Copies of this chain bind each other. A is one copy, B any other.
């Protein structure tokens, strides 16, 4: 398999991407890595960090889309940027997955416009890992790709989240809950009420009912479904809680699990190829984890499984 990595994306580019690739290759030989970026900058680093030449292909991309550029405009104007080149390779089947810690908006636009959705998917989605109080891990989606949702979309997020939780997080028969503001059926806003009705008859998932704000970080459910507006607020609130505790010198191993840097990245679920978006602050560990995630998504045929769950 061939995994493309944007070496120019993220706050610590290109060095941390290269170090992450090296760390991956030290323990895995399954993937051929396509390192996309400015040849003049990457070349010397490959030598310096002694990356095995046979496992790496450098793809020259002289331009970079900065973190604050307008996604659509930048992708259009910078066709030689590492992100544009990456999506070009993906669309032409030259690579099987693409990873970047660069401009999130450009990655989302690229994923949505360069690739087709998986057959049957209304709208792709992005998720985040939830560090649970009991040490377990949950999945929250959507976290910002779809700010206004229809009930049918939430119903599909539940399926996509379940496939991901089962195959990537290793959770058997994941419990799915709807983020809501009350425990019983009939509670919540119009979207939640309508989504509940679909979820409870969805035979592809193990729906357990509503999860309130207070249930998100406890072990009530494994897959938490909401619209992207709500999910993005939850994600950024949780990140900021962690940051505040760090600034205040409050330390605890539980809080460390909120260091999203450790989790690698989040896949865009529902597009035809694995696309993984990393946090801007990604370091080598995050890059390594993203490459492993891309490999798992390919090996376990996550997208084929999504398609099969959505069509039956």
Contacts and interface: CB of A to CB of B under 8 A. Distances in A.
Assembly of this chain: how many copies? 2
A252 interface: yes
Contacts of A148: 189-190
Interface in A224-265: 227-230, 232-241, 243-245, 247-248, 250, 252, 254-255
A231 to B, nearest CB: 9
Interface in A172-226: 179, 181, 188-190, 192, 212-218
Contacts of A215: 240
A247 to B, nearest CB: 7
A237 B231 CA distance: 12
Contacts of A214: 236-237, 239-240, 243
Interface residues of A, number: 40
A144 interface: yes
A133 interface: yes
Contacts of A190: 148
Contacts of A57: none
A234 B232 contact: no
A296 interface: no
A308 interface: no
A116 interface: no
B213 A236 contact: yes
A247 B254 CA distance: 11
A232 B216 CA distance: 13
A261 to B, nearest CB: 15
Describe A's contact surface by its main secondary structure: helix
A171 B70 CA distance: 36
Contacts of A254: 244, 248, 250
A147 interface: yes
Contacts of A179: 233
Given A147-B181, A250-B254, A252-B248, A216 B240 contact: yes
Interface of A: 133, 144, 147-148, 179, 181, 188-190, 192, 212-218, 227-230, 232-241, 243-245, 247-248, 250, 252, 254-255
Given A189-B229, A217-B237, A245-B252, 12 more contacts: A133-B244, A133-B248, A147-B181, A147-B192, A181-B229, A213-B240, A216-B237, A217-B244, A233-B234, A237-B237, A241-B241, A248-B254
30 contacts: A133-B244, A133-B248, A147-B188, A147-B189, A148-B189, A148-B190, A179-B233, A181-B229, A181-B232, A181-B233, A188-B229, A192-B229, A212-B232, A213-B232, A213-B235, A213-B236, A213-B238, A214-B236, A214-B240, A214-B243, A216-B237, A216-B240, A217-B237, A229-B230, A230-B233, A233-B234, A237-B237, A244-B254, A248-B254, A250-B252
10 A-B pairs closest in CB distance: A213-B236, A214-B240, A213-B237, A147-B189, A213-B233, A181-B232, A214-B236, A189-B229, A148-B189, A250-B252
